[in-house]
């Protein structure tokens, strides 16, 4: 029995309809963040990309739609979500190999591989400091029981020499993330993400490089919406955001 047999699904459009993705109607549902993560990755044809915690495959498939010729692998602990990721890749005719595994216990063959890029959207909330959701899929995606240190460690170990790691995370976890990278990966660039101009950033995109030697950088804040506040039901994304979300444009985070 699969998730589709026990949980209603919706088929949602991403990248202005270029992707149609099945995901559970309830529980964790992919939104803007995996699209932003994929847009930030500077992969090129012929390179390999590993996504840790790929869910139903949105980030990997957005990246595949923008950059043809990649070798993409996704790891997802929840077998039902992994199966949906495989289905989404097949139905969108995009190359994505999905491995159902705990990222702390990767299969032997995957532990032997190194990747040009590793991207991840780790759970935003510290399980030790929060309350579990009643929905297992949502709880795993937003809190989970895998410490952020394990995500970073696994990602760093899978990087090829001079490879890049890409992360999207909540702003309050930036100090923790930087501490985990210290002495291990370099050339760190952080791009804060704010809902509107003048508001404090709530999330950040981060890039770091194996063997990187460049100084730490803070890139200009990415502003999601126009205007000082939400105005009714009209879409208020900035022009740059619309290019990313609707047209599949890239989103460089390095100045």
In a domain, 252, yes or no: no
In a domain, 69, yes or no: yes
In a domain, 218, yes or no: yes
Say what the pLDDT of residue 140 is. Answer: 45
**182, two tokens:** 């210290």
Say what the pLDDT of residue 133 is. Answer: 41
In a domain, 14, yes or no: yes
Say what the pLDDT of residue 27 is. Answer: 79
In a domain, 253, yes or no: no
In a domain, 172, yes or no: yes
Give me the tens of pLDDT residue by residue for the chain, a chain 255 residues long.
455 555 699 999 999 999 999 999 887 888 999 999 999 999 999 999 999 999 999 999 999 999 999 999 999 999 999 999 999 999 999 999 999 999 999 999 999 999 999 999 999 866 455 444 444 444 444 445 789 999 999 999 999 999 999 999 999 999 999 999 999 999 999 999 999 999 999 999 999 999 999 999 999 999 999 987 766 666 789 999 999 999 999 999 876
CB atoms within 10 A of CB 187: 18
Domain count, the chain: 1
DSSP states of 177-224: HHHHHTTT-EEEEEEEEEEETTSPP-EEEEEEETT--SPPEEPPPEEE
Say what the pLDDT of residue 227 is. Answer: 82
β-pairing verdict for 159-170 and 19-24: unpaired
Which range marks the domain in which residue 231 is found?
Answer: 3-247
Burial 97-134 (b: 16+ CB within 10 A, else e): ebbbeebeebeeebeeeebbbbbbbbbbbebeeeeebe
In a domain, 30, yes or no: yes
In a domain, 142, yes or no: yes
CA angle 158, 33, 167 (to 5 degrees): 30
**66, two tokens:** 């923008």
CATH number at residue 220: 3.40.50.150
Q: Kindly state the DSSP code that residue 16 receives in the 8-state scheme.
A: G
């Amino acid at each position: 029995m699969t998730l589709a047999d026990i949980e209603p699904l919706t088929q949602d459009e991403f990248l202005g309809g270029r992707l149609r993705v099945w995901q559970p109607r309830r529980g964790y549902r992919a939104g803007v963040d995996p699209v932003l993560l994929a847009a930030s990755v500077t992969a090129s044809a012929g390179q390999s990309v590993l996504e840790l915690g790929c869910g139903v495959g949105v980030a990997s498939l957005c990246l595949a739609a923008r950059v043809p010729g990649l070798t993409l692998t996704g790891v997802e602990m929840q077998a039902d979500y992994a199966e949906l990721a495989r289905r989404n890749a097949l139905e969108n005719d995009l190359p994505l190999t999905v491995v159902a595994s705990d990222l702390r216990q990767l299969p032997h063959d995957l532990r032997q591989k190194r990747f040009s890029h590793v991207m991840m959207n780790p759970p935003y909330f510290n399980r030790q400091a929060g309350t579990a959701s009643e929905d297992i899929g949502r709880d795993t995606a937003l809190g989970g029981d895998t410490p952020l240190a394990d995500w970073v460690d696994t990602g760093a170990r899978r990087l090829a020499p001079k490879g890049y790691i890409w992360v999207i995370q909540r702003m309050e976890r930036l100090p923790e993330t930087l501490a985990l990278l210290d002495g291990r990966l370099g050339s760190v660039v952080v791009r804060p993400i704010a809902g509107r101009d003048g508001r404090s950033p709530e999330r950040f995109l981060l890039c770091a490089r194996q063997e990187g030697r460049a100084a730490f950088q803070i890139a200009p804040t990415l502003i999601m919406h126009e205007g000082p506040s939400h105005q009714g039901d009209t879409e208020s994304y900035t022009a740059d955001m619309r290019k990313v979300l609707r047209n599949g444009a890239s989103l460089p985070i390095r100045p």
